[in-house]
Amino acid sequence: MDINVLNKRMHKLLTVAIMMVMVILIMAFVFINHADNSLNKATYTTMNQEMDLCAQRISAQKDADLTLLKVLSKELIYDSDVDTLLMRMKEENDFTSILYIDINNNMHVSSGDMHITYNDLSKDLKNEISKGFSGKNSTSIQMNKNRLIVTYTVPVYGNSNHIMGVLCANGSLTPYSLLLKKSINGGNLYITNLKDFYGIQKDEDSNDVLAVLKHVDISEKINGLIGVNGDEHGIVVKSMGIHGWYICYVNSAKSLNNPIYMMSRATNFVLVVFVLVVILLFYIAYRIMEKNHKEMENIAYTDRLTEAVSTIRFMELVKTYDGNNHQYSLVALNMRRFKFMNEILGRKKSDEILRRIVACIKPMLKKDEIICRDSADVFYILLTDTKEIEISNRINAMFDEIRKNTKDFQYEYEFCCGVISNVTDEEKYSYEQMLTNVMFALAQSKEMSSGNICFFDEEVHKKKEFENFVESNMQQALDSERFEMVLQPKIDLNTNKVFAAEALVRWKLDNGTYLSPSSFVGIFEKNRFCSKLDFYMLRKAFTQIREWIDMGIEPVNISVNQSKIVFYHENYISELKALLNEYQVSAKYITLEVLESTVIEDIQMFNQILSEVKKLGFSVSLDDFGSGYSSLNVLSQLHIDELKIDRIFLHTNSEMENKKTKWILESIISFAKKSHILVVVEGVESSEDDVFIRELKADIGQGYFYGRPLSICAFSDLICAK
């Protein structure tokens, strides 16, 4: 062989070897760099997940405290002694102080010995109070004596649904600190207003970290790296959901992902040592993995049926969009009776309709707008519009285009559609909240007529949430006797002594606060749970009368409300007999109160049941007479023992109305007395009301003027004192 030829071959082989070594080294460098980037990405992903958990827990704590304060605010409507009530609220809850400002800027504080005026308040607190008077709930963090406090502010609504004041409560930052510590794994965590940093969790290098942070220009939702003692640390800043305050989280990859960190370094070392041996196999494997990754990404990120974006990809894109603080709207839509479409047209044609829906909507989307198919006929759309009229017009145009392109199927269908907008100058929702709220709006749309677009309403959502809370907890509350009976005195107007009492219900929550009947009785009537509650209250009344007798106290008659469902129940009479036998109490101590709506539907049936009830010895009272369609003619057909005149007769708007009311009441009372029916006037709230009903010669008065509803113990003391 020619030496020159051999040299050429050797040179070629050497050149190839050198090139392979260079390629291997370059690939090794790329791989190591890629590994470092992946580690950083894993670090940011972990930190963001932990920060998301922090934000969720902070939001939950804040919402819980605001909800508690809103519940407390309702008590101000019914209690005239505001200072005492505020002190009790502070004692029964975890707030450090509670402040009430009425519409005239009069101040009431939970500390009885503290006297401050509106002008004494800080500018920031005045701003929060102004939000309350505009009907907004707010949460803020303020500095007080070198420590941070959380201030909650809610409007207080009167009976006429007008704002009568603002309730403020200060709380410690400790609950938030504990939640934040539970949510992160090591590192340094601060609460900051982007100027000063207040440590929540500190590692050994906290002083060095803080020194670096003070010289870094950080902003909300930053993801970046800072150098601390020659080591790279990740930094994530996210809003607390409280105006002007953020959570700043700093941690190193080595500390946060130590197993991944050590594995990365070990892999790099092994790669350098064995790179010349395994480079070809690694390259082939890398190519195969890259190909598989692309295929898996295509499967994961694209809906195979319609070629719309998959739910996973849609979530990522929306979170990125939301992270850039853009305004956008989320639309959820599906088709009515899609299951029947599958049965009538068959799976193949139904799938074709779904494909055409996406094909029609895609060209109508603007830049950065996305359509996603979640499952079956459920679609999500991200729109950059936020005005309702623009969104409605665009969605209706989409519906028209879809119908025009599916006429060949000869099948009539309608869409349900829910919409929620995330606007930067209003309260922002997280992606998870947006998704939950838009599905709520979609559910509301299904309850409406066909083709309607339902925009998310926060107040309706809160009302549904409260109804769900009531219905989810009512049976447990009944089983654990969370419903408490209170007694409101009924006064004999001739002797001015306690004649009887009306049993009223209060729902005591786990946190010690109470729900008033007006907030849950209507829900119970709608879901028929009132039948259980009525018998529960009746049993409570029997129990109390039995206790009075056993204690040697002369019982007073207790009136117990009975709903229409209970009164007309087929086992009603047998249930009453069972209670009499069980407690061995005379029925004369119990008055059964029924609303006029119970009577008016079927007077004959009512009288039949009434006759059976009276045979057992019970008295029967007609409650809220005059609030509906009652008349003297109806009253003449009833064999009741007591007539309760509704409070509306006591609150007239003019002197002429007052005269007419007096004439009407004189006729009613005169007729009742001639029929030997006891007349009770409820809702007596002032001395003028008292004088008025005495002039009419009513028998019994009931209302706040004579006494508020009392606990069993307080009422027992009252009747013993008489």
Max avg pLDDT among 179-193, 211-225, 493-507 = 493-507
Encode 529-542 in three state secondary structure: CHHHHHHHHHHHHH
Question: Which residues lie below 8 Å from residue 662, measured CB to CB, with a gap of 6+?
Answer: 692, 695, 696
Residue 2: band (very low, low, confident or very high) from pLDDT cuts 50, 70, 90 = very low
| Neighbouring C-beta atoms of residue 598, cutoff 10 Å | 20
Two structure tokens written together for 537:
């209250």
Pairing of strands 245-252, 188-192: antiparallel
Tell me the per-residue pLDDT of 332-352, one tens digit each, with 9 for 90 and over.
888 887 777 777 788 888 888
Tell me the per-residue pLDDT of 375-415, one tens digit each, with 9 for 90 and over.
888 899 999 888 888 988 998 899 889 888 888 887 777 88
Q: Annotate 134-150 with b (16+ C-beta within 10 A) or e (fewer).
A: eeebbbbbeeeeeebbb
Angle among Cα 460, 465, 466 to the nearest 5 degrees reads: 100
- Residue 624 host element (H or E): strand 619-625
Over residues 642-667, the mean pLDDT reads 72
Q: Does residue 286 surpass a pLDDT of 70?
A: no
| Neighbouring C-beta atoms of residue 230, cutoff 10 Å | 5
Tell me the per-residue pLDDT of 606-652, one tens digit each, with 9 for 90 and over.
888 888 999 999 999 988 776 655 566 677 778 889 998 877 666 65
pLDDT at 666: 82
Distance (Å, whole) CA 493 – CA 481: 35
Q: Does residue 14 surpass a pLDDT of 60?
A: no
Max avg pLDDT among 2-16, 77-91, 644-658 = 77-91
- Contact in structure between 392 and 453 (CB atoms under 8 Å): yes
Distance (Å, whole) CA 150 – CA 201: 19
Two structure tokens written together for 676:
């030997």
DSSP label of 161: S
pLDDT at 498: 93
- Contact in structure between 246 and 238 (CB atoms under 8 Å): yes
- Lowest-confidence segment of 413-422, 504-513, 595-604 by average pLDDT: 595-604
Specify the pTM: 0.47
Distance (Å, whole) CA 635 – CA 623: 12
Nearest-CA neighbor of 520 among 511, 510, 532, 507?
Answer: 507
Over residues 205-217, the mean pLDDT reads 79
Q: Supply the angle between the helices 517-527 and 458-479 in degrees, to the nearest 10.
A: 80
pLDDT at 7: 47
Burial class (CB in 10 A: 0-12, 13-18, 19+), 475: exposed
More confident residue, 216 or 282: 216
Tell me the per-residue pLDDT of 689-700, one tens digit each, with 9 for 90 and over.
898 889 888 999
DSSP code per residue over 28-86: HHHHHHHHHHHHHHHHHHHHHHHHHHHHHHHHHHHHHHHHHHHHHHHHHHH-S-HHHHH
Amino acid in the structure at residue 564: K
The rounded radius of gyration (Å) of the Cα atoms in the chain is 36
Distance (Å, whole) CA 540 – CA 690: 30
Residue 149: band (very low, low, confident or very high) from pLDDT cuts 50, 70, 90 = confident
| Neighbouring C-beta atoms of residue 438, cutoff 10 Å | 26
Helix, strand, coil shares, percent, the chain, to 5: 55, 20, 25
Q: Annotate 5-33 with b (16+ C-beta within 10 A) or e (fewer).
A: eeeeeeeeeeeeeeeeeeebeebbeebbe
Tell me the per-residue pLDDT of 57-69, one tens digit each, with 9 for 90 and over.
888 888 888 888 8
pLDDT at 3: 37
Two structure tokens written together for 84:
């005492």
DSSP code per residue over 390-451: HHHHHHHHHHHHHHHTTGGG-----EEEEEEEE-TTS----HHHHHHHHHHHHHHHHHS-TT
Nearest-CA neighbor of 583 among 541, 534, 618, 533?
Answer: 541
Q: Mean pLDDT for the chain? A: 81
**Residue 340 backbone zone (phi > 0: left; psi -120 to 50: alpha; other: beta):** alpha
Residue 258: band (very low, low, confident or very high) from pLDDT cuts 50, 70, 90 = low
Tell me the per-residue pLDDT of 451-472, one tens digit each, with 9 for 90 and over.
578 888 777 667 777 777 888 8
DSSP label of 248: E
Q: Does residue 504 surpass a pLDDT of 90?
A: yes
Residue 211: band (very low, low, confident or very high) from pLDDT cuts 50, 70, 90 = confident
Nearest-CA neighbor of 191 among 183, 182, 180?
Answer: 180
Amino acid in the structure at residue 317: L
Residue 272: band (very low, low, confident or very high) from pLDDT cuts 50, 70, 90 = low
647 three-class SS: helix
Distance (Å, whole) CA 587 – CA 576: 9
DSSP code per residue over 181-223: HHH--SSEEEEE-SS-EEEEE--TTHHHHHHHHTTS---TT-E
Nearest-CA neighbor of 679 among 706, 691, 697?
Answer: 697
Over residues 140-160, the mean pLDDT reads 84
Angle among Cα 428, 429, 433 to the nearest 5 degrees reads: 170
- Lowest-confidence segment of 106-120, 498-512, 623-637 by average pLDDT: 623-637
Residue 529: band (very low, low, confident or very high) from pLDDT cuts 50, 70, 90 = confident
| Neighbouring C-beta atoms of residue 328, cutoff 10 Å | 22
Question: How many distinct helices (H) and strands (E) make up the chain?
Answer: 23, 24
pLDDT at 660: 75
Two structure tokens written together for 280:
């070809």
